[in-house]
Amino acid sequence: AATVTYDFDVSWVYANPDGLQNRPVIGINGQWPIPTIRVTKGDRLVVNVKNSLGNQTTSLHFHGLYMNGTNHMDGVDAVTQCGIAPGSTFTHNFTVDQPGTYWYHSHVRGQYPDGLRGPLIVEDPDDPHKDLYDEEIVLTFSDWYHGMMTDLLKGFISVANPSGAEPVPDSALVNETQNLTVKIEPGKTYLFRMINMGAFAAHYVWFEDHTMQIVEVDGVYTEPADADMLYMTAAQRVSVLITAKNDSNSNFAFVGSMDQDLFDVIPEGLNPNVTGWLVYDDAKEKPPPKEVDSFEPFDDFTLVPEDKEELYDHVDHTVQLDLKMDNLNDGANYAFFNDITYVHPKVPTLYTVLSTGSNATNPAIYGSNTNQFVLKANEVVEIILNNDDPGKHPFHLHGHAFQLVHRSEDEAGFYDSNAAPSFPATPMRRDTVLVHPNGNIVLRFRSDNPGVWLFHCHIEWHVASGLVATIIERPLDIQAQLAGKIPQDHLDNCKLDGVPTAGNAAG
Ligand code: C2O
């Protein structure tokens, strides 16, 4: 295995990805879009981050990587570190033992939609589908705002917006542009690694006259499954095989179409689609996509993992989260789990684990508004999420891929275990999953990875309005792994923030 090093200087640059508005965006080394991180399974990844934004703290989170034994490298502001202060540096150093398609993004509240989001690909010499394709292509889908996140957030959480209507994106992008062509050779098979890096909108994705064969979701290989249309929520990844036609008489459009059901108001003139083209022949025209009259995407709960891992058939620990949106006394709208809206702590939760000795197993020491759950070793944990809200939400758990045990239809209400729904024998696993409007989901995982891991809606507006829970997995094992081992550059960022750091003194 190799060590792969990236030196990232994070700063403001200008970009105009939809041709409608030039604006400041967060770039790396003076460039935007930001670079793709590429490693091979087993490699050590070192990322040296310098914050040259001047006016904001920042962080980098590596979405979907388990960070086994390296929870302090997870990149989550106020949870596993302090935000990297302007002018300051922070080094991530960890090994990557998972294959597949991931992404990296800022995990400072509200920040990544300003541009700090990029692909992270882990190549796998043992990829079971390797012989099935000739080349790979990375496609990112995302939504885009003309406004700056700091301004949009002020309007979103305010008395002027008591209903909590989320700002609607101004456009959709593929590979951070609206002008993408992908050169294709007849007869070849391509692995398309697709990532939704958006802030809000899920995308319906399809390729005109080409079938997609799903082979990986969120870093977990699948038994191959054919799909005509996908639904990709914010933060989900799907890899598909597409075989090019044998002749090059035409070029073909592919489309990412934002799910407008998510938008409270559809602004006049909004184009929810971004179109790219599979180009067989540059000399031929690029035909526009046909109208689609029904959106019937593939259901990820029907997938089977390639390793056929069986359902965890008993549960040791149930975590029930009842979701609702409501107003607080200040007149603004917030999101709640079990009547608590998440407020991030002053001291990163991981540092509290490290400084409290045997008290770290007591949930009460983590305060009254972090929605914290403390897990013991090797429990089968079941998350039951009841969505008491008419919106769709994509939920993500750090540090794990969970089994997709059950998902209700719309309007099913709270999960009822007595109704004994039947569960898949070999459930698919992934790290981000959609819950339907007023529906519920049931997820299971094993507590085999000590760390402080967030569970949250990946709609960035809902992170800001508090739809976040904290899973404190095996705190005494975290201490055994990390007490006294938090690097000085991590702690220095807390001093610059004026936040006390107890972390290194623990033992
Ligand atoms: Cu994509 Cu909390 O992360």
DSSP notation for 212-247: EEEEEETTEEEEEEEES-EEE-TT-EEEEEEEPPS-
Q: Quote the ligand 1 centre to 495 CA distance (angstroms).
A: 25
Q: Which atom of ligand 1 lies closest to the CA of 463?
A: 2
CATH homologous superfamily of 317-505 equals Cupredoxins -  blue copper proteins (2.60.40.420)
DSSP H helices in 218-373: 349-355
Q: How far is CA 285 from the centre of its chain?
A: 36
Which atom of ligand 1 is found nearest the CA of 454? 2
The alpha carbon of 434 and the centre of ligand 1 are apart by a number of angstroms equal to: 14
CA distances for 323 relative to 129, 377, 418, 471, 493, angstroms: 39, 27, 21, 16, 33
pLDDT per position as a tens digit, 102-139: 999 999 999 999 999 999 999 999 999 999 999 999 99
| Ligand 1 nearest atom to the CA of residue 63, by list position | 1
Cβ contact 175:117 at 8 Å: no
Q: What are the tens digits of pLDDT across the range 459-473? A: 999 999 999 999 999
Q: DSSP assignment, residue 291?
A: P
Residues with CB under 6 A from ligand 1: 61, 63, 105, 107, 235, 396, 398, 454, 456, 458
d(C-alpha 199, C-alpha 464), whole Å: 11
How many angstroms is it from 428 CA to the middle of ligand 1?
20
281 CA to centre of ligand 1 in angstroms: 39
Looking at ligand 1, which residue's alpha carbon is closest to its atom 1?
A: 63
| Res. 352: pLDDT tops 80 | yes
Q: What is the pLDDT of residues 382-428, one digit of tens each?
A: 999 999 999 999 999 999 999 999 999 999 999 998 987 899 999 99
Report the distance separating Cα 421 and Cα 438, nearest Å.
17
pLDDT digits (tens, 9 = 90+) for 162-208: 999 999 999 999 999 999 999 999 999 999 999 999 999 999 999 99
507 pLDDT above the threshold of 60: no
Residue 108 CA to ligand 1 center (angstroms) comes to: 10
Please give the mean pLDDT across all residues of the chain.
Answer: 96
State the pLDDT confidence band at 504, using cuts at 50, 70 and 90.
Answer: very low
Coil, strand or helix: which one is 118?
strand
3-126 and 317-505: same fold? yes
Ligand 1 atom nearest to 235, measured from its CA: 1
Q: What is the C-alpha to C-alpha distance for residues 61 and 463, in angstroms, rounded to an integer?
A: 15
Q: How many helices (H) and strands (E) does the chain have?
A: 5, 30
* pLDDT tens-digit map of 36-56: 999 999 999 999 999 999 999
pLDDT at 503 over 50: no
User: How much distance in Å is there from the Cα of 286 to the middle of ligand 1?
Assistant: 36
CATH 2.60.40.420 applies to domain 3-126: yes
Residues 170 and 196 sit within 8 Å (Cβ to Cβ): no
- Write down the domain spans for the chain: 3-126, 132-302, 317-505
pLDDT of residue 506: 34
Give the residue among 59, 39, 20, 117 at the shortest CA–CA distance from 490. Answer: 59
At 497 the pLDDT is: 55
| Half-sphere exposure for 467 (CA within 13 Å, toward CB) | 31
Looking at domain 132-302, its CATH superfamily turns out to be Cupredoxins -  blue copper proteins (2.60.40.420)
**pLDDT band, residue 496 (cuts 50/70/90):** low
pLDDT for residue 262 is more than 50: yes
Q: How are beta strands 212-217 and 220-227 bridged, if at all?
A: antiparallel
Per the CB < 8 A criterion, the answer to whether 239 and 216 are in contact is yes
User: Which residue's alpha carbon is at the smallest distance from atom 3 of ligand 1?
Assistant: 63
Residue 94 above 60 pLDDT?
A: yes
What ipTM does this complex have? Answer: 0.99
- Over range 364-378, report the average pLDDT: 97
Model pLDDT for residues 242-256, shown as the tens digit of each residue? 999 999 899 999 999
The number of the ligand 1 atom at minimal distance from the alpha carbon of 64 is 1
Q: What is the percent of the chain where pLDDT is above 70?
A: 98
Please tell me the predicted confidence (pLDDT) of residue 499. 59
Tokens encoding 48: 């040296």
Q: What mean pLDDT comes out for the span 308-334?
A: 97
- Do residues 414 and 405 touch, judged by C-beta distance below 8 A? no
Q: How far is the CA of 59 from the centre of ligand 1 (A)?
A: 12
